[in-house]
Structure 1
Amino acid sequence: MTNSHHDQHRPAPAYRDATPADVPALVDLVNSCYRGDSSKQGWTTEADLLDGQRVDADGMGALLDRSDTRLLVAEADGDLVACCELRRDGEDAYFGMFSVRPGRQGGGLGRIVLAEAERSAVADWGSRRMRMMVIRQRTELIAWYERRGYKATGNTEPFPYGDEAFGLPKRSDLEFVELVKDLPVGGA
């Protein structure tokens, strides 16, 4: 039985940078969003394109050790509900490994976490543009980013076939497309 007036609206997440203590939870979150049956609970997944893991503890730890990279986490109700990689790249910020817990997808959480990532890239690094690489075959995800102001540049990168750290491809035509968005200068 629920009688709380808070049940109607979930609280806004709290944001912070990931720490080494978060690595097991982050690996679980990221892999649950991208691969396997759990990922199919959300509205977008790579499970039909790739098997295997998206990231392991060593890979996550290596990201945390990079001086040009932050792992932004979003927590709600004491639970890690989303994360993303932000990497400083000159005047650009690179956005990657975006993960929203499958059971929380489709309710606006991804949109507000993406907006926080953009805001923090401008505030913390003075970034003028956000870049990302998305698998070309993830058309519904690309459309979601386009609705948030991202545009395809026409630049592509090959999928790293043979590197199991990126997963086990189920098809031979995978490639990444670059999406970019200009960020407001001066926090406007």
Structure 2
Amino acid sequence: MDIAPPRDSGELTYRDAVEADVPVLVRLIESAYRGDSSRSGWTTEADILDGPRTDPESVREIVTAPGGTLLAVERDGELIACCQLEHRGEAAYFGMFAVRPGLQGAGLGRQIIAEAERIARERWSVREMQMTVISVRHELIDWYVRRGYRRTGKLSPFPYGDEHVGVPQRDDLAFELLVKDLS
């Protein structure tokens, strides 16, 4: 894992997460996606998926994996957001993006994704950022499109039966690949 020195971007500080961050990261990710707490933000998946979004083992795996990082975003020393960056050849994968629900809608997401793109370009000299988004999350996909991502129409199946990603409440879920040119 490449450990990046903390970088201050205005009021936010960015750093590679470490194993000691795992419990706080799991709580943050869960609060942004599942359960009643997620409903105070706009990124909730609570209406389409029940159960956990992640678990400590999965987050620890991302934190310790070579060729990637879970970027921790802090304000005043408090972890308020995170996102996964993974080097995949000429591309980087962006995932597990979570902003504390009460802070959503204030422009933090735009700042964080722009910094994640900069880090991926500098660290790995990648030409493209890729992500997958649940295809029925139209508002979220539209938000990424406004950030310069384009829909590819390429779908991959949702892992029905794998409770590590949640318990689907619908039978029409799939992941759509979104990409952005970073060159």
Q: TM-score, normalised by structure 1?
A: 0.91
Structural mapping, 1:31-46, within 5 Å? 31-46=30-45
Task: Look up the SS of the partner of 1:124 in the other structure.
Answer: helix
The letter for the 2-side match of 1:161 is: Y
- Distance across 2 between alignment mates of 1:25 and 1:56: 11
Tell me the equivalent position of 1:4.
Answer: none
- Distance across 2 between alignment mates of 1:124 and 1:40: 35
Task: List per-residue Cα deviations over 1:82-134 (Å, max 9, x = no partner).
Answer: 10000000000000000000011000001000000000000000010000000
Tell me the equivalent position of 1:99.
Answer: 98
- Distance across 1 between alignment mates of 2:142 and 2:153: 15
Identity, % of aligned positions: 57
Do the aligned residues in 1 keep the contact of 2:90 with 2:126 (CA within 8 Å)? Answer: yes
Pair 1:150-2:152 in alignment: no
Task: Look up the SS of the partner of 1:23 in the other structure.
Answer: helix
The letter for the 2-side match of 1:39 is: S
Task: Look up the SS of the partner of 1:117 in the other structure.
Answer: helix
Tell me the equivalent position of 1:16.
Answer: 15
Pair 1:87-2:80 in alignment: no
| TM-superposed deviation, 1:65 | 2.1
- Distance across 2 between alignment mates of 1:43 and 1:71: 22
- Distance across 1 between alignment mates of 2:43 and 2:93: 21
- Distance across 2 between alignment mates of 1:119 and 1:41: 29
Aligned-residue RMSD, C-alpha: 0.8
Pair 1:131-2:130 in alignment: yes
- Distance across 2 between alignment mates of 1:79 and 1:168: 30
Do the aligned residues in 1 keep the contact of 2:19 with 2:64 (CA within 8 Å)? Answer: no
- Distance across 2 between alignment mates of 1:91 and 1:26: 28
The letter for the 1-side match of 2:56 is: A
The letter for the 2-side match of 1:37 is: D
| TM-superposed deviation, 1:146 | 0.3
Which blocks of at least 5 consecutive residues in structure 2 are unaligned?
A: 1-9
Tell me the equivalent position of 2:54.
Answer: 55
The letter for the 1-side match of 2:95 is: G
The letter for the 1-side match of 2:58 is: G
The list of structure 1 runs, each at least 4 consecutive aligned residues, that deviate by more than 2 angstroms after superposition, is: none
Q: How many residues align?
A: 174
Structure 1, 73-82 or 87-96: larger mean CA deviation:
73-82
| TM-superposed deviation, 1:44 | 2.2
| TM-superposed deviation, 1:77 | 1.9
Task: Look up the SS of the partner of 2:98 in the other structure.
Answer: strand
Structure ID, larger Rg: 1
Task: Look up the SS of the partner of 1:116 in the other structure.
Answer: helix
- Distance across 2 between alignment mates of 1:30 and 1:17: 16
The letter for the 2-side match of 1:102 is: P
| TM-superposed deviation, 1:43 | 1.6
The letter for the 2-side match of 1:28 is: R
